[in-house]
Every structure is written in structure tokens, then in C-alpha cells.
Structure 1
Amino acid sequence: MSKININRVSLASLVIALGIIYGDIGTSPLYVLSAITRDSIPGRFEELIVGGISCVIWTLTLQTTIKYVVLTLRADNRGEGGIFSLYALVRRQRKWLVVPAMIGGAALLADGIITPPITVTSAIEGLRQIPYLHRFLPENDPAPIMIIAITIISMLFFVQQFGTDYIGKLFGPGMITWFLMMAVIGSMHLVDSVSIFKAFNPYYAVRLIIDYPSGFWLLGAVFLCTTGAEALYSDLGHAGRKNIYWTWVFVKICLIINYLGQGAWLLKQHSAGTLDLSQNPFYAMMPQSFRIFGIFIATGAAVIASQALISGSFTLISEAIRLNLWPKMKIKYPTEEKGQVFIPGINTLLWVGCLCIVLHFRSSDKMEAAYGLAITLCMISTSILFANYLIGRRSKKRWVVLYLFVYLLIEFSFLGANLNKFPHGGYVAIIVGGILFGVMYIWYRSRKIKNRYVEFVRLEHYIPMIQELSNDKSIPMYSTHLVYMTSANNPKEIEHKIIYSILNRKPKRADIYWFVHVDILDDPYTTEFSVEHIIPNDIIRVEFRLGFRVEQKIQLMMKRVVEELYANKEVNITSRYDSLERSNVAGDFRFIVLEKFLSTDNELPFSEKLIMRCYFWLKRISLSEERGFGLDPSYVHVEKFPLIVSPSRNMNLKRVYPRGEEV
């Protein structure tokens, strides 16, 4: 898979695109019509079905096709997509754009917790429509379905640690089978009621929203047909824009045929007086002899949809970590495939979240209440960020205004309709998304608070003292090469705490002092470095310029830099100890990590104090600084350093003398 050029359209790349990006939106026919017909009104059933499917068709057209496939996919960050890739393109325009980026990221993660339960449970519930399984799966007992769903979900999360390189090769053919099955079954029922073709006229969608008693609130059910559109954009880097263009035509045709087929079948059953709304129309319209195979294929598609959301969540968090919007976490790369990551902590979080969703809601129809509400916030955030992208590209103002007006109107309408779900389970999605947003906000805001009080000094003022220390034989040698990580963007500056660590806190004599700075860029995969010899063979600054999707393996990168400098005779890495120097032994390297803690000598406003306390709590349970930079702990010395962001000044202290005399 990794050897296929996704930037070119080929049969192999099209199959891969089908397998990677359409799992979520492709499984929506499992539950959309069930959600729309759940609260049907007697005497107005045809109006509901025709209008509901018209809403689905035009939602797929306006929201998925035009907004995402035609427009948003153009905002690629060197071939990569997703809310954080889009944010990286526009974050230097306006600082407040970080807020919609964090809201969108949190909402997408919340969606990743709800998608596996609803898709897998919806697929498994089809077993109830197999006559000879009724005795094992009674309608009033959700436990058997829950057990099967929990087992499948648990197995899915278990295999994440091994990577999905080989499993992923089956996704494309699996999804082709799924879409073809939907199209064939849907087309078998298109002539059941030819009035269903009126759904192509948007008049019936508007009429449903305005005239039907609960028409506006039905948008919450309609919205389920497009929940995978955001994931489609996030997987741009795995499929390529041209492949998405071509495959979406096929996918949309299959989806619409199936929706029309379900609608025509429902109208026929209603007119014949044999309609049973307790049955899922997706399975009910299948031939009885094929139904068990259809359920098997649907379950496979549900697993693929879940896998896509899980992999997308790993990528999303890894991007957030690089952009300093999430605490550092352990990241593994189970295969050599580009972009494939595994984050054990997030895997556990998603697994526990999915199990809680299944145990709490117990059936897919109740899960629908929690599904869709959070993702509308993500789509609104994408609209805001994309509008700023258009502004940055100097698009005409009237087009930007038109884009915002149309899509904010559509998405706020969906949000309003989805708010009706809040008391029925939507609160779960909001709580989950709110917690995830809170983590991002605390991590981002605490960094801003710290940066207000970070003290930088001119390095040139301390160079003579560092050189004297390096040559002072009365002080024991601390290390041949001493490496500090610095956040100073200006190569002529350095944090005061680093100077304090070298000169004041147990003076550290070394032959060469290295100051290493990592600059995270707005493009995804840049790996560059530059070297500045401040004092040749004494003080050297190395700056790494890394893309926001590049793993920060600083120790390995430093080894590569030192090897190149040594080969070019720019640095002498031989140990300066007489006995070792004669044998041409390379000197040792020691990394110093300054780990901050919140000093009690602080006076902060209550809100900032709360943020900083939460920050240090998150820091304790997240990955350590040295592991976050990819450093071997055996080469690292950690120094505790007090963070005094707002020193206390009001201290009433007076001196008293013996005998009580006061001066």
C-alpha cells in the first residue's frame, strides 16, 4: 500500500481510497431512514419519506460534495488534510483561530468514540431480522447484541497495537463489495413506488422542513447521512485529492440508490398496510435468503468505518501534540507505512469510551441521540477556518461572505435541530467533547501564561563565563558534550534558567555546549536542520525545522548532525581526557532537561491559578519531557526548576531585635 502513488489515479489507488475514507459516511444507510421514520405522523407518511430522502440527497450534495469534495479538499497542506492541517495553514493570520481548531478537534475525537458503537451495533442488530435467530436474540433483551458488539469493538482495539497495514489491504475490496451490495439491493426496489423520484426536487425537502409538524427537528436525523464528511477531509493525505474526486462519484451514486430503494420499499409497504417501523428498512428490504450475508457484509463495513475513525483519532492527537495543543503521549509506529501511528493512551481512552457508550445506550436507536451533535461543531469550525484560508488566498470578499452565509446557515440549522437530542443522549457527546476541549485549552493557555514570564538573556553576555568554566580544571568535568533544549527562537538569546543551570546550580563543566532548538512548521513533513558555531568547538547551536507530523526523535537526529559535522571537520568530538584522547575515543553526551514545577511563590488570578494547577496535573500523567523529545533516559539528567509566573510581592515582614527594640 505504501508504495502506491496516491497522487496519481490508478485502479489500486482508487481501491485504497474506497477502503480508507468512506467507512463512516458509507455505513450511514444502516440507521438514517430508521431515525427519520421513528416519529412518523399518520396520514403524512409519503410526505415524510419523499421529503426526508430529498433532504438526504441535497445534504449529501451541498454539504459533502460541494463543501468538502469540491471546496475544502483544495485546502491541502502539502497533500495533508484535516482540521489541524487547515489550522496550520491559517494560524498566523489570527490568533483566535486556535479556538475553532480546538473545538473541531475535540468534536472529531468525540465522534470517534461514538462511531464504532453505533455502526457495529446497527449492523449486529440485523440478526434480529433472521427468523431462526429470534429465540437467541429476543427484541426486549439487548444483552446478546451488546455482548457481540463489545466483543467486536474490543478485538478491533486490541489489534491496533500491531498496525493495520495488512488489514488495510482488505478494506478497499471490502468497501467495494459493500457499496455494490447497497446499490444492487436499492435498485431492486426503485420501482416499488416511482413517486420516490420526486425526492430529487429540493422543493420537497423545503416543504418537509416548513410544513411537517416536526420537520425542522428531523434535520437532526437527516444530518446522520453526512457525519463522515469531516473524516473524508482528514484522510486526504492517505488517499489523494484526485482519487477522492473519482471515488466519491461512485460512492454517492450507490448511497443515493440505496436511500431511494429504502424509501420506495417503505412507501410500498405503507400503501399495502404491512409496514412495521420496528424493523430496520435496510435489512427488511433484503431478500430473506440473502439477509444473513448482508448482515455479515454490513458488520465488515462497520468494522472498517470504526477503524477509519480510530486511525484518524491517532493522527489527530499526534498533530495536536506537535502543535502544542495536547499533552505529550507515547507514540508508536507499528509499520513503515507513512502516517500510520499508534498511541496506546488514546487507544485505551477510545476503547473505554466505546464500551461506556454501548453499556449506557444499549441499542443503536438510542445512540443516534448522541450521534451528530458534536460533529456539527466540527463542521462549523471547518467553515470558519476555511473562510480564513480563502481570505489568505486573496479570494474575492463576496465569495467568502457567500460561503460563510450559506454554510453557517446550513450548519447552524443542523446544530439547532441536533440540540433537540441533548436531553435524550446528546449530552454525552457534549460532555465528552467538552472534556477533550478542556484538555486542549488548558495545555494551550498554560503555555501562553508561562511564556509571559520566560526570561531570555543575551547569550553573548555569558560566553566568556562559559568559556572560563569549560577551561577551569578545578571543577570536575560534568560531560564532554552537554546538550540543552532551548525554546529561544532568536539564536542570540537563551533562557536565563539554562544559564543558571550551567553557572549557578552546581557548575557544569563541559568541553562543548550544545543548544538545541526545535521549530515546528506549518507544513507536515519537513525535516531540516541548521548549525551555528557561536564559538567553534565550544558553543554550538543546532536548530531543527520539523513538520507538525514528524516524530521528534531528537537524540537520533543529533547523532546524525554530529556525524555530519565530524565528517566535515567542523567539530572535534574526541574525548578531552588524556587517556581517552590518545585512543581517539569519542566523548560522552549528556542531555539536561529542565523540568518545571509550580512554585508556591506565585500570585495569580484564580482562573490562571486553576489552569496552571490543571496543567501540572496533566503533565504528571503525560509523557515526560525527555521521552517526548525521543531521548534515552540513560543519557538524560533531569533538573527541577521552579516556575514563578507571578511572584508574590506583598509580604509584611519586619525585623525585631533582642529586648524588643525596633529599628
Structure 2
Amino acid sequence: MNKKISIASLLVALGIVYGDIGTSPLYVMKSMLGVNNGYVSKDLILGGVSLVIWTLTLQTTIKYVMLTLEADNKGEGGIFSLYTLVRKNAKWLIGPAVIGGATLLADGMITPPVTVTSAIEGLTLVFPIETRSIIIIVISILTVLFLLQRFGTDIIGKVFGPMMVIWFSMLLILGFTQILQYTEIVRAINPYYGIKLLVTSPQSVYILGAVFLCTTGAEALYSDLGHCGKRNIHYTWIFVKISLVINYLGQGAWLMLREGSIIKDNPFFLIMPSWFVIPGTIIATIAAIIASQALITGSFTLVSEAIKLNLFPKLQVRYPNDDKGKIYIPAVNYLLYIGCVLLVLKFQKSENMEAAYGLAITITMIMTTILLSQYLRFNKQKKVMSILIFVIFMVIESAFLYANLFKFVNGGYVTIVIAGALIFLMYIWIYGTVIRKRFNQYVNIFSYEKHFKSLKEDKELPLYATNLVYLTESQNYKEVERKIAFSLFNKQPKRAKYYWFINVRVTDEPYTKEYSVKTIVPNEAFSIQFNLGFRIDQKINVFLYQVIQELACSGEVKFTPKEYMISNNNKCVVGDFKFVLLEEILSNESELSRWDSFITSVKLLIKKLTVSPAKWFGIDTSNVEVEKVPIIVGKKEALTLTRIS
């Protein structure tokens, strides 16, 4: 799915895709200087800028823009989209997907604080602002940003593109004017200086950790593929990369003219003319907000995909605007906001955040490399290329990981702890499903044909509903869970005119909208399979009404409406609905290991705390009956009582 190229589409790509990677000049050179305690040396600047240029070339341009963007799933990108393309090849690939998704979310939590704080700190060159005041300003900006999420991003989004054009143009002009002052800086394009720095500097590991910050937004670039299309990203990246490289060269040129000095302030703001510092800081702050916004919406998309793939607990998803691609997940919004505020309060200064930033995202990139190599090997049948890509980028990213591991004690542990918590949450969800499926008992629903007939003829029972609906996990239309049969025929037998057993299958393609119908008992019991893409909102209430209406109109369901029933737009009337949802509780009769029992109990607790199945499947809550059903896993030895007189 390649979107058409136009001025508008290129502006959208600039506004959405490059927020994170585009704001990296705010802190990369400053972080690199910090490694050397602010001392400006020729080898550090030439080598550091060279490493930045070649990192942007190898990691961002070659790996992500040229290779990974080609691994799109019907136009959609991101680590979970990539996982859906390769998961048929091996079950173990769920591991890299879960780890990559969790670390991307965790490191994403520190991106808004580090970018906004770096931008606001530019004001210290003009005004004597204390750290406490900067913290208050940053938290205020983040508060407004997160509060705006519930209203959607349409209004904000319209100014993103033009503002990023101004931002990148500013980077280009500021960098170019400094290069003119010291043209020899262009020697940094030669990778020799970068390699020399890594070989000779005793601080090469820490320098590499600072250099990595220039490419942290590459993963978000892939995640936002669905919003823009790969061709728009290909074209805009040319402008973006030139702007970034020129700005890094410009900062390097300014520093080279001050070789031997100790620079404690941010070179990004120092290369600005004094009259431009305030406007430049305002533009930088807006760019930082755009970077934060892109990351927040990316987090919503990532979690939404994980939920649809049954890798994450079900959370309430809202669509504030008409665009189905722009979603809002309140729980994720609150958690991100709380995390961002706590990180600002903990680290306080951008230099402290930089010391912790990048560790988790390195792990994400390694996981993407693993999945990408599998995609090239199995989906594209390019075995030699897959091995080559795997080896090259594993070497590069392992070096970055080793360098970033030194950030662990300086605060990197925060993002690793957050990522670990998210991984464990997904593990509970996935393994809890495995445990339940291991002992799930299914029955052949066709063997109950006589039961349906007897139930229908039992006039002592009141009519429970015209259309009675059960949701089943069985993708085999001939089978349903035993607990459904028990609920239907034993636990308050339910007489209805029509019975519907529904299964929702999430497809590997993002926007699939298909269904199939199988008849169990003619004109009485039916099985429906919905095939919905992982980007589709599961509004089962609406879909089911449409399906039954089509069946009634075609005569497959012979429904005779009463005279008093109202028909909208002359469409076929299908009567009332009643959904029976079975809420699981762990039975005392279950025989599980302590670990499996713990996982199952925690998963059931999470289910209670998160969105209800009725809300998740878009079912009108007035038509829902919730029944508690015990999960009996395994069988304990039966106890026999002896009767005494």
C-alpha cells in the first residue's frame, strides 16, 4: 500500500515520522562532550561527528529506511506488524516480539522528558533560570500535552508538518553557517576518524553510548509507516538526513574553533546568534512536543496491536477523530504521563536523562534485526542476505548495547525495570492463555441437535431472547467449550428462537473484514467466524446485526416480524439480542503447580481490572448477561463419602 506523493503527504510524513530522530541534535553533541567533562579535543569532535554520520547511514538509512520499511504488512509497520509476518515460521519468534515491544514502550517513556527538558534548558543562555523552574515548565508542558490526547490529534497534527519544515530548515541553516566558519569539519565524513576515535580513546565505550542517541528514533520511524507510506518516508528522509548531518557538522565546526576549551553549555544553542536564542528555543520546544506526540500516538498503536494479537490485556480503546488510524487508550495515556513526570522529578536535568537514555531501545533494535532476518529468510527466500544482514547489524547493535550497558547504573535501570514489568505482564497474559487452552474441554455442538429441539419445545421455560449469542474461542465451527453447553442446557436452560456461536479470529493482515456462517441446526443454531485485521476495532454488536440482517434478507434465517415491529429503511427486522458472557474464576478443584496457579490467578485479576469483554467487543451492555464459570484445571482425586446410620 503505497500512498500517493504530494506536498501534503510529504508534510504529514515530516510531522509524524521524524519527531524523535529529528530532535536528536538537541542532546547528542552535548552528551558526547559530557563524556570528556566538556573538554573540546580535535579527535573527539572529528571522530564523534564521523561516528554520528555513519550511524545515521548504517542504522537509520540502510537498516530502517532501505530494508525494514520493505517488510511492511499491507502498508503497516512496527515490530508487532513484522511479527505477524514471520510468526508462522517459528513459535519462538514471539519472544523477540514481546521483548522488542516492551523495551520500545519503556524507552519511549523517557523520550518526552529528555527532548522537552533539553529544549527548555536553552533559555538558560538568556535568562538565569534555576533547575526547579525548568522542572515546573517541563511538567506543565507535558501535562497539557497528555491532557490534549483525549480530544484527538487532528488539530495539532495539521501544524506538525509545517513546524517540522521550519525545524529542519533551522537545523540546516544553523549548521551551514558554522561550516562556512571552519570548512575542514567536512573531513568528519571520512569514517577513518570515527574508527580512530574508537580504537585510541580510553572513553570509546561512553562515546559510543552518546553517539547512539542520534538514531534512537529509527524504530519509531518504522512504527509510523502506516500513517505515511514508505515512498513519502523515502523522499522526506533525504531532506531530513541532510539537515541532521549539516547541523552535526555545524556544531562540530563551532567546537573545533574552540579546541582546548571546556564547554559546559549545549553546543546546539551556542551555535545560534544571541538574538535568535529565544526564537530558536521556542522552535526547539515545539519540535520536542511534536517528538513527544509522535511517541505517545506510537505507543497507543503499539499497545492496540499487542491487544488484538492477544499479547496484552484488553484495554479501552477510543477513536477521538474520524481517522481510524488515530486512537486513544486512556490507561496507556495515564501511565505514560505518570512515568514521564516521575522521570523528570528523578533526573531533573537533561544530562542525567541522557545518561539513562538509549539502553532499552538498543534491545528493541536487536529484536527487530532478529525478526527482519527471519522475514528475509522465509518470506523473501533470501537466505544469504538474511545471514549477512543478521551478522552486520548484530555486530553494530551489540557494540551499542555493550556501550549502553554502562548507562545501567546511571539510570538506565529505570527503563529496564519498566520493560521487565511489561514483559512479565505480557508473559502472564500469553502463558495464562496457554494454561487454559491446555485443559480447555470442547464438545461437538452438532451432537446436541436433540437438546436444541427439546429446549425449543419446552414451553414451561420463558423465551430468554430472540437471538441468544455466545462468544467462543474455538475456530472449529463444529466445537464449542463445554462450559457454553453447560450454560445453555443445564445452568438456567435458555430457550431462544435462534442461537449464535461467535468466534473472532485476528488475522495477520491489518484491515481484514470478513465473516463466514455455518449452520448447526437449520433456521435455529449457527456458527459465525469473524476474520478481523489486528487494526480493526472489534465492534461485534454492529457486525453481528449486519450479518443476521443479511441472512434474514436472503432467507437463510426465516424470521417473521411482528406487526408492531418497526423496520428502519425497509431493512429486514431481526428481533432482540442477548449476549451471554462467561466470566472465569479459578476453582478450588483445580490441580495446578504453584507457578501455573499464580499465573492463572494474576491473569484473572488483571481481567477484572481492565475493560470488560462487553465493552471490548462493542456489545450494548443492556443486552449482556454475565455468568461466572469455574475453571477446573486437571482433576484432584475424588473423595467418596460413606453413609452411616
Aligned pair partner of 2:552 in 548, 553, 566 = 566
State the partner residue of 1:661.
Answer: none
1:107 aligns with 2:103: yes
Q: Which residue of 2 aligns with 1:23?
A: 19
Aligned counterpart, 1:286: 272
Out of 119, 122, 139, the residue aligned to residue 123 of structure 1 is: 119
Rounded to whole Å, the distance in 1 between the matches of 2:582 and 2:598 is 23
- Indicate the residue corresponding to 1:420 in structure 2: 406
Rounded Cα–Cα distance in structure 2 between residues aligned with 1:45 and 1:579: 88
State how 1:383-422 maps to structure 2 within 5 Å: 383-422=369-408
Q: What is the CA deviation profile of residues 572-595 of structure 1, one whole-angstrom value per residue up to 9, with x for unaligned ones?
A: 34468x9989xx985321000011
TM-score, with length taken from structure 1: 0.94
The code of the aligned residue for 1:514 comes to W
Does the residue aligned with 1:462 lie in a helix, a strand or coil? helix
Distance 1:43 1:635, change over 3 A: closer
The CA distance in 2 between the partners of 1:573 and 1:432, in whole Å, is 54
1:532-578 CA-to-partner distances (Å, cap 9, x unmatched) read: 222221111111110001000000111111221122122134468x9
Residue equivalent to 1:551: 537
TM alignment of 1:76-475, pairs within 5 A: 76-130=72-126, 133-134=127-128, 137-138=129-130, 142-270=131-259, 275-475=261-461
Query: Sequence identity of aligned pairs in percent?
Result: 50
2:599 is the alignment partner of 1:611: yes
Q: Is the 8 A contact 1:6 1:238 kept in 2?
A: no
| Cα separation, partners in 2 of 1:238 and 1:38, compared to 1, 3 Å | same
Query: 1:210, 1:216 within 8 Å by CA — same for their partners in 2?
Result: no
Normalising by structure 2, report the TM-score. Answer: 0.96
Q: Where do 5+ consecutive residues of structure 1 fail to align?
A: 659-663
Amino acid at match of 2:122: G
2:40–2:256 contact (8 Å) kept in structure 1? no
1:43 is displaced (CA, Å) by 8.4
Alpha-carbon distance change, 306 to 653 in structure 1, aligned in 2, over 3 angstroms: same
1:473-501 Cα shifts (integer Å, max 9, x gaps): 12222111111111111111111111111
Tell me the SS of whatever aligns to 2:275: coil
How many equivalent residue pairs? Answer: 640
Q: Matches of 1:221 and 1:653 in 2, distance apart?
A: 70
Deviations 1:33-91 (A, max 9, x none): 01111121798811111111111011000000000000000000000000010011111
Q: Secondary structure at the match of 1:269?
A: coil
- 2:632 and 2:158 mapped to 1: Cα distance? 53
Q: Decide whether the 8 Å contact of 1:531 with 1:543 is kept in 2.
A: yes
Deviation (angstroms), 1:424: 0.6
1:45 paired with 2:31, answer no
CA distance in structure 2 between the partners assigned to 1:299 and 1:286 by the alignment: 15
Question: In the alignment, is the contact (CA less than 8 A) between 1:537 and 1:571 conserved in 2?
Answer: yes
Alpha-carbon distance in 1 for matches of 2:17, 2:103: 18
Q: CA deviation at 1:394?
A: 4.2
Indicate yes or no: 2:503 matched with 1:514. no
1:197 Cα deviation from its structure 2 partner? 1.8
Structure 2: gaps of 5 or more residues: 567-571
Q: Distance in 2 between matches of 1:370 and 1:287?
A: 31
User: Which has the larger displacement, 203-212 or 635-644?
Assistant: 203-212
What's the C-alpha RMSD, in Å, of the aligned pairs? 1.8
**Aligned letter for 1:375?**
I
Q: Do 1:6 and 1:13's aligned partners in 2 also have CA atoms closer than 8 Å?
A: no
Once the two structures are TM-superposed, the CA of residue 393 in structure 1 deviates from its matched residue by 2.3
Q: Which residue of 1 aligns with 2:32?
A: 36
Tell me if the contact between 2:182 and 2:253 (Cα under 8 Å) persists in the aligned partners.
yes
Q: Distance in 2 between matches of 1:479 and 1:338?
A: 33
Letter in 2 for 1:186: G
- Quick check: 1:25–1:228 contact (8 Å CA) kept in 2? yes
Tell me the secondary structure at the aligned position of residue 277 of structure 1: coil
Question: Alignment partner of 1:189: what SS?
Answer: helix
Deviation at residue 614 of structure 1 after TM alignment: 1.7
Amino acid at match of 1:35: S
